[in-house]
Chain A
Amino acid sequence: MLGEGILKGLKETARNALGSYVSKERLTTVEYPEERLPLPEASRNFPFLVYDGTDWESGLRCVACQICEKECPPKCIYIEKSKDKKPDAVGKPQFYPAKFDIDISVCMSCQICVEVCPFEAIKMNTEFELSTDDRFEGLLLDGKELALSNEYYHQIHPTEAAEVDARLAAERAAAEAKAKAAAAAAVAKAAAATAAKSAAPAGAPATNTSAVPASTIPAGPTAQNSTGTPTAAATAPPASQNDAANADAPRAPKTDTKKEGDAS
């Protein structure tokens, strides 16, 4: 019938208008800034640097390898590597970034820096209320502003952070176990070398390549990219053994096969 549709429409609108006072589903407004909608877990805005522990300077995971600076498409990251090394969260001396600036007016949130970082040091933050009235200095975040704790990372991306922590812990444990095995093997090798030395001096060159882990000659010709690791493993105190294992841990996937071959 003519006019029926209009009356039905009027009824629906009236239901909406009057129902918005009583039911929540008919009033979907979130009154920002007093109320905020929770962000989904995979949301991202601009990067931040993760640090373990409580002190950002000593716990910063970043070792200023400058890979993210090279990979960043709009080149918004600026890193100055330090001259000295500082012990990081697990005690091993590492380079650290003397300056780590990200210009968030340039950053396009592509997440490439996160994908290429070998140390799980840079992650994406979800903070979006970054308005400032200083167009240049206000949007250039430096290392201090960018450093946020691992607990914060757990807060904003729980599953991701748990996964990263599990992976890091597993790598650390694997490297530690490897270092222990290497130390045990080194001790055994040292014992065998002394026995072999006394027995057959001609066998020394033949075992040279394989006896590198046992010999006191540092930095063998093999492509060991951590210098002095095996000797340190053999002679250094157990603390540095941990360091060696830790320093080896992130490189474990790349150098695993080599080490296996060399440590045999």
Chain B
Amino acid sequence: MANQADQIFVLLKHWIVSIFPAVVQPYLGVVLSVVAIIAVFPGLFALTTVIERKGLGRMQNRIGPNRTGPYGILQPIADGIKSLTKEDIIPTSADAVVHFIAPLVLVVAVFMGFAVLPMGRNMQLVDMDAGLLFFFAIGASTELSIFMAGWSSRNKYSLLGAMRAVAQMISYEVPLLMSSVAIVMITGSLSLVKIVDAQNQYTWGLPHWYIFTPWGFAAFVMFCIAATAETNRSPFDLPEGESELVAGYFTEYSGFKFALFFLGEYLGMFSISGLGTTLFLGGWSAPLQVLNFVPSWIWFFAKVMLSIVVLIWIRGTLPRLRQDQLMNFAWKFVLPMTLLNLFVAAIWRFMGEGLLRWIVCSAILIGVYVIVGTIGMRRKKFGPRTYRYAE
């Protein structure tokens, strides 16, 4: 019975596919899964916009939207109608073809990332051997679409925003990959399905999630930071900072294209939260062994929504980072820490089971963090600031 509830979507898909003739069946299976993804994630996107606005409101001592529907639940419908009925303006000197294609490329690239996420037991679209690499390759393509959007608008501010966004995304791409490589090292495979299976074991009722290991926890923290920067979320949202650059690289977009960019950004948030869940939080496995009766896809989506809530929480708390602070942080702090983390993961692997490896790895990581933190937080000079380029 529990197995049935767990596999309900898989069984449903098999049943629908079996109705049709055999020649069509493989394609129909894939099409059904794709349709399911396209239906579910934008629905989650709509829910997330409401949660974000109300959550941010509560954090700022105010109520979020509460007029459209009870507790503002129908707000995304109102937003959708507004986006669809606004006039679609393309500036005369803009590059019309590239201007049109940019949001499409973004949305397509982001949707493709969902293809390898295992959303439940046996519930991934494609089980690729190099699934993780596919995900990162597709993530790199989104930078190109942002650049296309900024350049084709033929607007100084859009171009500046696009440059900043691309620089930020490239800088944080490296820590993102490096923190995932530690996982790959320990698991021994790039396939996301195998990574989840490796975490689906329990010792004394507690799971083997990688976040519960010292190097896994450090990697998770750095993955979070890099993921927030990759999706241009606060505190790394300088490219779309409203007070600085109007709307950054999507200044010249209106109506539905703007809604597509918005959709692309939130879907990027979902897919990278999904990846973080898969790599560090055990994907669809339950936290305690006794809770295995709850279907696996519920656990996956619960963890993803928890990650989204944490992202919203961080957005409501932290001020925006300046571009040079952002880049300094990436290259001078996060990247060396990820390399150290790789080293620590290797030590973990070669030390064999036992308490000793916990102590050694934790000591190295915490020691280096504390030392670098205290050295970096020292105020070196007091007095007026000097600027290198602005004299």
Which of A's residues lie within 8 Å of B, judged by CB? 1-3, 6, 9-10, 12-14, 16-17, 20-21, 26-29, 31
Contact = CB atoms under 8 A, between A and B. Distances in A.
A225 B373 CA distance: 89
Contact of B58 (A6, A12, A16): A16
B115 to A, nearest CB: 33
Given A17-B55, A27-B61, A27-B62, A1 B318 contact: no
Contacts of B61: 16, 20, 26-29
Interface residues of B, number: 20
B354 interface: no
Interface string B55-80: 10011111100100000000000000
B384 interface: no
Interface string B19-36: 000000000000000000
20 contacts: A1-B370, A1-B373, A1-B374, A2-B373, A2-B374, A2-B376, A2-B377, A6-B317, A9-B317, A14-B313, A16-B58, A16-B59, A17-B58, A21-B58, A27-B58, A27-B61, A28-B61, A28-B62, A31-B63, A31-B66
Contacts of B136: none
Given A17-B58, A17-B59, A28-B62, 7 more contacts: A2-B372, A2-B373, A2-B376, A10-B314, A10-B317, A16-B59, A29-B63
Contacts of B314: 10
A21 B63 CA distance: 10
* Interface SS of chain B: helix
A13 B55 CA distance: 10
Contacts of B374: 1-2
B316 interface: yes
B358 interface: no
A13 B377 contact: no
Nearest to A16: B59
B343 interface: no
Nearest to B55: A17
Contacts of A14: 59, 313
Contact of A29 (B62, B369, B376): B62
A62 B314 CA distance: 62
Interface in B275-330: 313-314, 316-318
A1 to B, nearest CB: 6
Given A16-B59, A17-B55, A27-B63, A9 B373 contact: no
B63 A13 contact: no
A215 B60 CA distance: 81
